[in-house]
């Protein structure tokens, strides 16, 4: 009930006050879009891109061979970032993905991550992408690509299975749940490339692991990984 009223209220806010920050609800300046500068600069950035053997790289140790990995921010409940992510994923604000991708790009410019040849978002299952209207990771990839001047390849792989939410499963079950989920439809696009794989939130890494291992079957491929947030 309360949630419904809240949603209704938020939609009304959107209608009458389109130029307020999605995170803190203060008025945006003319040069700001969706999120105010204070909220953006105050996000809990991980700086993992400056550190080898960071916690995101460690997630993949012994599971998939990666060159480098990072997350942009630490995910915290009831945070400004959670509000931003919610608007990106569930309220159709796909431009927020591009915005975060651009910020991400400016942060990692000097790191190994920026040495990738192409940027590839983790595919969403068609049904989910249709429902949402876009793949949020693809929008982040777009921003990264623009910022780093690296091409995005988003149409050469697909997700075959719509995996259910995995929060209640154990690690091995989660792995089973995502094994063989991805199909590389145009492997020739990836041959010999260092691929920067993009996901939104990394929890166990099982989904990204499955996707990257599929990519690594292609001759000459190396992978790096970036997530928006580390849960």
Q: How far is the CB of 155 from Zn ion (least distance, A)?
A: 34
Helices and strands (H and E) in the chain: how many: 9, 6
The residue among 23 and 113 lying less far from Zn ion, judged by its C-beta, is 23
Residues within window 77-136 making contact with Zn ion, judged by CB under 5 A: none
Rule CB under 5 A: say whether 24 interacts with Zn ion: yes
Looking at beta carbons only, is 21 or 56 nearer to Zn ion?
21
User: Does 226 engage in binding with Zn ion (CB under 5 A)?
Assistant: no
Which residues in the 163-182 window bind Zn ion by CB under 5 A? Answer: none
Other beta carbons within 10 Å of 4: 8
User: Is residue 21 a contact point for Zn ion (CB under 5 A)?
Assistant: yes
The verdict on 13 binding Zn ion (CB under 5 A) reads no
Cα–Cα dist 167/186, whole Å: 31
Cα 106 vs. chain centroid, distance in angstroms? Answer: 16
Q: How many residues sit in the footprint of Zn ion (CB under 5 A)?
A: 5
Q: Which of residues 37-56 bind Zn ion (CB under 5 A)?
A: 39
Question: Which residues neighbour 151 within 8 Å (Cβ) at sequence distance 6 or greater?
Answer: 118, 119, 145
Alpha-helix residue ranges (DSSP H) falling in 109-179: 126-132, 136-148, 171-178
Pairs from 163-171 (Cβ < 8 Å, separation ≥ 24): 163/125, 163/207, 166/203, 166/204, 166/206, 167/203, 171/204, 171/206
What is the smallest separation between the CB atom of 99 and Zn ion, expressed in angstroms?
13
Residue 181 beta carbon to Zn ion: minimum distance, rounded to whole angstroms: 36
In three-state form (DSSP H/G/I as H, E/B as E, the rest C), the secondary structure along 96-107 is: HHHHHHHHHHHH
**73 sits near Zn ion (criterion: CB under 5 A):** no
36 binds Zn ion (CB under 5 A): yes
Closest to Zn ion by CB, 23 vs 85, is 23
What token pair was written down for 138? Answer: 């693809």
Which C-beta is closer to Zn ion: that of 21 or that of 122?
21
Which C-beta is closer to Zn ion: that of 93 or that of 222?
Answer: 93
Q: Which is nearer to Zn ion, 24 or 162 (CB)?
A: 24
Residue count of the chain, please give it. Answer: 231
> Interface with Zn ion by CB under 5 A: which residues?
21, 23-24, 36, 39
């Amino acid at each position: 009930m309360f949630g419904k009223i809240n949603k209704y209220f938020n939609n009304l806010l959107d209608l009458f006050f389109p130029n307020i920050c999605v995170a803190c609800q203060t008025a945006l300046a003319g040069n700001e879009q969706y999120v105010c500068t204070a909220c953006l600069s105050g996000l809990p950035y991980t700086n993992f891109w400056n550190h080898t053997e960071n916690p995101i790289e460690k997630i993949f140790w012994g599971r998939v061979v990666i060159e480098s990995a990072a997350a942009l921010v630490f995910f915290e409940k009831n945070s400004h970032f959670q509000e931003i992510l919610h608007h990106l994923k569930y309220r159709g604000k796909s431009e927020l993905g591009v915005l975060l991708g651009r910020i991400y790009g400016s942060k990692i410019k000097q790191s190994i991550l920026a040495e990738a040849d192409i940027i590839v978002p983790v595919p969403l299952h068609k049904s989910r992408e249709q429902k949402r209207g876009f793949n949020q990771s693809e929008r982040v990839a777009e921003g990264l690509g623009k910022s780093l001047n690296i091409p995005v390849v988003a149409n050469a792989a697909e997700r075959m299975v719509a995996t259910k939410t995995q929060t209640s499963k154990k690690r091995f079950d989660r792995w089973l749940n995502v094994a063989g989920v991805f199909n590389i439809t145009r492997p020739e696009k990836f041959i010999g490339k260092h691929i920067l794989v993009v996901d939104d939130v990394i929890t166990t890494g099982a989904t990204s692991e499955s996707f990257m291992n599929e990519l690594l079957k292609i001759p000459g491929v190396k992978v790096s990984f970036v997530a928006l947030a580390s849960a």
